[in-house]
């Protein structure tokens, strides 16, 4: 029974770690297109696309003015978190 309790606690911790509200509270945002689909990469954006970004405390609607594409592996570390 103790092993099952530990397994349940581990699973619960994993679920909490992936809770979208907790991710937003850490400073991340979720950006969606006007059709509701999630934006995962800049390559999928086009000029004048309308976006809805969700923060921990609200939302912002924006329009794409430009798209700069780069490879994160080529970007220098800034030390900012």
DSSP 8-class letter at 29: -
Strand-pair partners of 62? 51
| Domain residue extents for the chain | 2-68
Q: What is the pTM of this model?
A: 0.64
Which tens digits make up the pLDDT trace of 21-55?
A: 787 788 888 999 999 999 999 988 999 999 999 99
CA distance 75 to 81: 14
| pLDDT: which is higher, 81 or 18 | 18
Cα Rg for the chain, rounded, in angstroms? 18
The b-or-e profile of 19-50 (16+ CB within 10 A means b, else e) is eeeeeeeeeeeeeebeeeeebeeeeebeeeee
CA distance 67 to 56: 25
């Amino acid at each position: 029974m103790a092993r099952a309790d530990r397994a349940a606690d581990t699973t619960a911790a994993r679920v909490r770690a992936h809770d979208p509200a907790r991710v937003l509270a850490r400073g991340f945002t979720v950006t969606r297109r006007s059709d509701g689909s999630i934006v995962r990469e800049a390559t999928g954006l086009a000029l004048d696309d309308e976006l809805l970004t969700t923060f921990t405390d609200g939302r912002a609607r924006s329009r794409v003015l430009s798209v700069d594409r780069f490879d994160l592996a080529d970007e220098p570390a800034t030390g900012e978190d």
